[in-house]
Structure 1
């Protein structure tokens, strides 16, 4: 369960690079998640041989991640950016991005995670009826991104 939360968190934490206001994800037959964002875009991931995920985005970009020794994922994106995450004591993940930004998540009482971003924003996720997660993003002033 903890590994599932870490991996799902890592997928959701890619949002500072590929921003959307909210997303809804559901597991797919490939061991990953299919996500729809309320800006009309989508992403689809599948497990790979490296203990991570191969993800493609509706705009043609893609990413590949692999499990690292810190309980997180190292992810390379097709636009040349990358991120690295590690599990933390709060039941979530801490992620650093190649542009110098970072995020930190913790498990919440809803069975999802709360994530704080270095730009002052935060997100909150909760399980949905598709056995996935619904996530809403807020700016530093509490307004949705």
Structure 2
């Protein structure tokens, strides 16, 4: 995946974000500043297919230092998925890597890369000519996930 230098947004998407007016997403489930921080982090990873690859939550905290705890990252992903802003499309299990714990202990663990598709009704890459296809792709994936 190749990161890009720009993406576009839609008026509809911005209205939904500032209102948080999803019928299934009201009250205590409104997006918090932590959720928006996570969304902006994902947008910094977006590629020309509207996908963002991220490592395990622990690695996001340690390497990228986005100022969120593992718990807040986990909650944020769940809320962004529930709000249909993103969909998880793939999990890749990479080779074993050597890591150091906070206590200095060295351990081997498998690195996991998750790929999320960002709803093009909010943010999109690749120009307007690709927007219709990306919306259809998102709807197709969402439909398959809802039918499970």
Higher helix share: 2
Q: What TM-score, normalized to structure 1? A: 0.27
| Higher relative contact order (Cα pairs below 8 Å, separated by 6+ residues) | 2
Higher-Rg member (1/2): 2
Q: What TM-score, normalized to structure 2? A: 0.27
